Amino acid sequence: MERILITGATGQIGSELVPALRDRYGKSHVIAAGHKTKPPQNLVEEGPYTSLDITDITAIESVVREYRIDTIFHLAALLSAVSEKNPQLAWKVNMDGLYNVLEVSRKNCCAVFFPSSIGAFGPDTPRDNTPQDTVQHPNTLYGICKVSGELLCNYYFSRFGVDTRGVRYPGLISYETLPGGGTTDYAVEIFYHAIQERKYDCFLKQGTYLDMMYMPDAVRAAIELMEIDAKRLKHRNAFNITAMSFSPDELATSIQRHIPDFSMRYAVDPVRQAIADSWPRHMNDLAAREQWGWQPQFDLERMTKDMLDRLTAKLAQSSGTV
């Protein structure tokens, strides 16, 4: 990777992947691309930044040629709950956008990283120890887009030789960006409420287990997969990866070890609960571990402490108390 473009750079993954790649490959070699969300100051000041609508294939090709891009981390997408509210827009952004990126990559010899998700599975998928290769019948538009994206990326590799690679991310937890409409967003919201209000109303019910990952692990996974020798990869796209599986009540208990007066109630959102009930509780990520050495560094307790420490400092700074 010498000239890297990140679409969706202002989103949850992109806002942390961009600085990591700039530290590794040089600030001038990593181009951050956002669209509607106002970019944070560091994305604009510490390296090239451009506004890019991924539904406009001409605009994508123009950026790729202008910056001589050879690798695209394609992160721009609408998340699960937002997609259910506007499925027509979700298809346009999530599927048409990916097709545009793959077509431009085919013409300009770019490698492509595409993040899939636990949302690519459905209610008839084994929910515990979910295999790498298994039944995928999602019942959400978001999940349908992810499965279609996995297949499309595989097609562009086998048919046109485009170097496509990807992972199936679990729920992601980050202190850098606010939740963006995902089913696992409770695991981010809860930290803000615990620090600021000492209470939280959870939109998923007690005992809802889902795979989760702390953002530093998610960022590292994307970079490691794109850097590995392709000869080691039997799979190309949609590697299962995970770090921990927990329920809302277990996360609340972990937070209470640091904030004893924190309390949580349940105000279940039926739409997001139905989505969560169709997703794996825990994926089998042996293929990723064997083929490219995937190994998470954060478990629930380590993630909770780091998240509370960093988010507390961030909120204090933004309020002017430090």
Which residues are annotated as catalytic? 142
For 239, the 3-state DSSP assignment is strand
What DSSP line would sit under 10-78, residue for residue?
A: TSTTHHHHHHHHHHHH-GGGEEEEESSSPPPHHHHHSS-EEE--TT-HHHHHHHHHHTT--EEEE----
What distance separates the 2 farthest-apart alpha carbons in the chain? 57
Looking only at the bridges linking them, the beta strands covering 164-165 and 128-130 are unpaired
DSSP symbol at 118: G
What is the signed CA dihedral for 44, 97, 143, 17, rounded to 10 degrees?
Answer: -20
Reported as type and span, the H/E element at residue 201 is: strand 199-202
Q: Are 291 and 234 in contact (CB under 8 A)?
A: yes
CA distance 9 to 188: 19
CA distance 304 to 42: 26
Looking only at the bridges linking them, the beta strands covering 244-246 and 210-214 are antiparallel
For 96, the 3-state DSSP assignment is helix
